[in-house]
Amino acid sequence: MSHTWDPDRYLAYADERGRPFVDLLARVPAERPRVVVDLGCGPGNLTSLLAERWRGAQVTGIDSSPEMIATAREIEGIAWEVGDLRDWAAPDPLALRAPADVLVSNATLQWVPEHLDLLPGLLDRVAPGGWLAFQVPGNFDEPSHTARTDLAAQEPYAAHVRDARVPVSHDPATYARVLLDLGCEVDAWETTYLHVLTGEDPVFEWVSGTGARPTLQALPDDLRPLFEDEFKALLREAYPADAAGRVVLPFRRIFVVARKPHGVLVP
C-alpha cells in the first residue's frame, strides 16, 4: 500500500533525527571522494552536510518521495532524483551509473523488508576501496511501535491497515556478517539516544511523521481520529511526562560502515 511523506512534519524534529546521521558520517574516513550518493535523502537537509564535508565531490540525493525531493530541490549545488532504492541497487550491465566513492543511506533501509538481500547490489554500486554507510532504527520492540501494532490488529482498524508498510531492521551483527562475507572491512555498532520531547503528545507527533505514517494514511477519514486518540492514550501511558511536561523517548539506532576491498568486484 502506497503512502506519501510530509517534509514539514518530518522536519519537526530535524535536530534529533539528524544526530544519528552526523554520528554515522563521523565514522566514514573518506578523504577526497569524487562521487557521493545519499539513498533515501528525504528533504535534503542532511545531504547538504555531505556537500559541505566533501566540497569537491559530485553529490546526489535520491528519494522515492516526490514530496521530499520537491523540498530538497530548494537546496542548490546538489543533484536531486526521484528514485527507488531497490532499482538503484539492481544490476547495471551498461554501467550507466558512476560508482560511488561514498554511498550513504540514513533511516531508509528499514522500509524495504528484503533489504538484507540488497546489500550485495548496493555494494556493487560502490567503487573499489569506497564506503557503504547506513543507519536504521532498532527500536521496533519499543512501545512507540508495539502500541501501534497491537492497536492496528484490532477491529475496526485491522481490515484497513493489514497491507500498510511497517519498518523492520536487523541487529548490528547480522549486517556485519553479510558484509564481512562480501570481503568488506566492517564497523558496526548501536547507540540508544534519549530524546527529550515537549509539547502535546510529542511521541505521537514523532512517530506520526515516520513509522506510524503508513498506518495512519491507510485508515479511512472516519476512523483515523478514533485510532489517533487511542494511540495517543497508549503512548501517554508508555511515555509519561514529568512535572515540567518533558517526555524522554529512548531511541535505539543501528550503524554500519563498510569499506569495499580494492580491486574486488562483488558478485
29-72: pLDDT as tens digits: 999 999 999 999 988 999 999 999 999 999 999 999 899 899 99
In the numeric block, the cell 494514511 is attached to: 217
186 falls within a domain: yes
pLDDT confidence of 267, banded at 50, 70, 90? very low
| pLDDT given at position 164 | 86
264 falls within a domain: no
Spatial distance between the Cα atoms of 101 and 262, rounded to a whole number of angstroms:
12
Residue 222 is part of which domain span?
Answer: 7-259
Spatial distance between the Cα atoms of 42 and 161, rounded to a whole number of angstroms:
24
pLDDT confidence of 179, banded at 50, 70, 90? very high
pLDDT confidence of 163, banded at 50, 70, 90? confident
Question: Mean of the pLDDT values across residues 193-205?
Answer: 93
If you average pLDDT over every residue of the chain, what do you get? 89
265 falls within a domain: no
| pLDDT given at position 10 | 43
230 falls within a domain: yes
111 pLDDT more than 70: yes
Domain total in the chain: 1
| pLDDT given at position 18 | 84
Question: Mean of the pLDDT values across residues 111-132?
Answer: 94
39 falls within a domain: yes
2 falls within a domain: no
Question: Mean of the pLDDT values across residues 185-198?
Answer: 96
168 falls within a domain: yes
pLDDT confidence of 87, banded at 50, 70, 90? confident
Q: Indicate the pTM of the whole model.
A: 0.90
227 falls within a domain: yes
| CATH number for 80 | 3.40.50.150
| pLDDT given at position 14 | 58
pLDDT confidence of 12, banded at 50, 70, 90? very low
